[in-house]
Structure 1
Amino acid sequence: MDFLTLIAPTELGGALTVALLAASFAGSFITIAFGIGGGVMLLAIMASLMPPAALIPVHGVVQLGSNTGRASAMFRHIHWPALGWFGVGALAGVALGSALVVNIPAALVQIGVGVFVIWSVISRPPAWMKRWPVITGALTSFLTMFFGATGPFVATYTRALNLGRHGYAATQASLMVMQHSLKSLAFGFLGFAFAHWVWFCTAMILAGLAGTFTGRLVLDRMTDARFQKFLNAILILIALRLIWSGFHAL
């Protein structure tokens, strides 16, 4: 049994698995290079290639692994006071989301993710999200049960802490570790078969860690503004495809 056969779920096959590993690498590269956006990009690509029922749980585990790697690498820069009230809100948001997420049809998940991705690209989160961490934690954790990548909204709170770039990256990663940990536990209690996806998730996490380390090496050579515009255009195109697919399935 070769490596690709071991990690590729039957729902995906070898070619899609390789594409998703490349997306995990690129997503972590983008996050370390630009501070945000890689999780949304990975979500959009996974939503276009994976079974909708597995999308949010698997994406959550992959993001948990990637953010744990980033937080561990920058552990001494974490701003610990930021985690308290956010964590209280996150626990409440995940608990509420768990009670509702099981009733959402797969097609609506695709449409919701598509709309969410477009909104995260073209709009700014409301200002109150950075002043009330408990509400930010609750709202973003509730949304992550349905739509996955809420990093851009959590970042509104993190940026308001006025940390240096190392502190920002470490604290943002730590907040996302907390959120994705709670989400993964919730989906486990809801009965999602994580064991079926364990080798795929492991490979995705390792690809993401490789993207993180590579991004740190080439960060200074990137042109931020031009690449961000390109990334936003790709995200919107992928999101429109997801919305079309969802409506077609309905």
Structure 2
Amino acid sequence: MIEFLTTLPDGLTQLAFWVLVVMSFVGSFITAALGIGGGALLLVFMATLMPPAAIIPVHGVVQLGSNAGRAAMLFRYLHRPALGGFVLGSVIGASLGGMVVVDLPPNAVQIGLGIFIIWSVLAKPPAWLTRLPWMAGGISSFLTMFFGATGVFVANYTKSFKLDRHAHVATHATLMTVQHALKVVIFGLLGFAFGAWAGVIIALIVAGLIGTYAGKLVLNRMSDVNFKRALDALLILISLRLIYQGVTG
């Protein structure tokens, strides 16, 4: 097993591998405790340490495992009315994203997402996030094919239901599980060789599950008020970073 995990694909060093393992733990801990942020954090390190062609598909598989584990641990808190339309929209959005051959300008996506999220945090979440869940699922799933970490977008859809902290994390994790599962299937159909990255993916998922469990213990000790304040602060910080990245190219 150790030999399998340490047989790394071309373009990934041993040091980079272990840094990613640590960041998978930290990212899942943050997401389980605060509801959002860990996926984007892991993506930043992947973008620095991994070959560009592997970043989005590998990130998708790791986030699928992490979110599925979090959703399972908190399944009894799931807000089921949030699923139906969102799932339908996600299928459409991810399928369209996979069919687009010309990449969207990444800086435009980052700036647009950042501005939208800050507006949603400081103002009342837009009504269409609950009235038109298929649109929330469709837009975020389309963007995730190019951008990778759209958890902050989905968090605003989840936030519009005004759930307590456990229900928010459980529902958000379930929605992200659906979205990442669709992304992985589409990248597989497009021919990405997941097998070469299997050992890395397993190690990152295991580290993420451990981080999820540790974060859940912290979540149980937080009040709803503190959770919402921490969530809003983290959303704004990530959004400002997205805008900065977009502006600087």
Q: TM-score, normalised by structure 2?
A: 0.82
Instruction: Say whether the 8 Å CA contact 1:61–1:180 is kept in structure 2.
Output: yes
Structure-1 residue corresponding to 2:103: 104
Q: Which moved more, 1:86-95 or 1:43-52?
A: 43-52
Alignment of structure 1 residues 1-250 onto 2, 5 Å: 2-3=2-3, 6-100=6-100, 102-104=101-103, 111=107, 115=111, 124=120, 127=126, 128-219=128-219, 220=221
Q: How many residues align?
A: 241
Give, in whole Å, the separation in 2 of the partners of 1:154 and 1:25: 21
SS of the residue corresponding to residue 179 of structure 1 reads helix
Instruction: Say whether the 8 Å CA contact 1:130–1:156 is kept in structure 2.
Output: no
SS of the residue corresponding to residue 83 of structure 2 reads helix
Deviation, structure 1 residue 117: 7.7
Q: Which moved more, 1:165-174 or 1:138-147?
A: 165-174
Kindly provide the CA deviation profile for residues 94-117 of structure 1, in whole angstroms up to 9, marking residues without a partner as x. Answer: 1100011x4439xx65x5676578
**CA 112–27 in structure 1, closer or farther in 2 if over 3 Å, else same:** farther
Q: Which moved more, 1:130-139 or 1:117-126?
A: 117-126
Instruction: Say whether the 8 Å CA contact 1:88–1:134 is kept in structure 2.
Output: yes
Deviation, structure 1 residue 34: 1.2
Instruction: Say whether the 8 Å CA contact 1:48–1:238 is kept in structure 2.
Output: no
Give, in whole Å, the separation in 2 of the partners of 1:231 and 1:137: 19
SS of the residue corresponding to residue 120 of structure 2 reads coil
Letter in 2 for 1:137: G
**CA 161–7 in structure 1, closer or farther in 2 if over 3 Å, else same:** farther
Q: Which moved more, 1:140-149 or 1:124-133?
A: 124-133
Give 5+ residue unaligned stretches, structure 1: none
**CA 14–243 in structure 1, closer or farther in 2 if over 3 Å, else same:** farther
Deviation, structure 1 residue 6: 2.5
Deviation, structure 1 residue 130: 3.7
Give 5+ residue unaligned stretches, structure 2: none
Instruction: Say whether the 8 Å CA contact 2:37–2:234 is kept in structure 1.
Output: no
Deviation, structure 1 residue 157: 1.5
Give, in whole Å, the separation in 2 of the partners of 1:68 and 1:17: 22
Instruction: Say whether the 8 Å CA contact 1:27–1:39 is kept in structure 2.
Output: yes
The percent identity for this pair of structures is 46
Give, in whole Å, the separation in 1 of the partners of 2:146 and 2:54: 12
Give, in whole Å, the separation in 2 of the partners of 1:237 and 1:160: 23
SS of the residue corresponding to residue 124 of structure 1 reads helix
Letter in 1 for 2:16: L
Kindly provide the CA deviation profile for residues 118-154 of structure 1, in whole angstroms up to 9, marking residues without a partner as x. Answer: 5587553761334310000000000000001111111
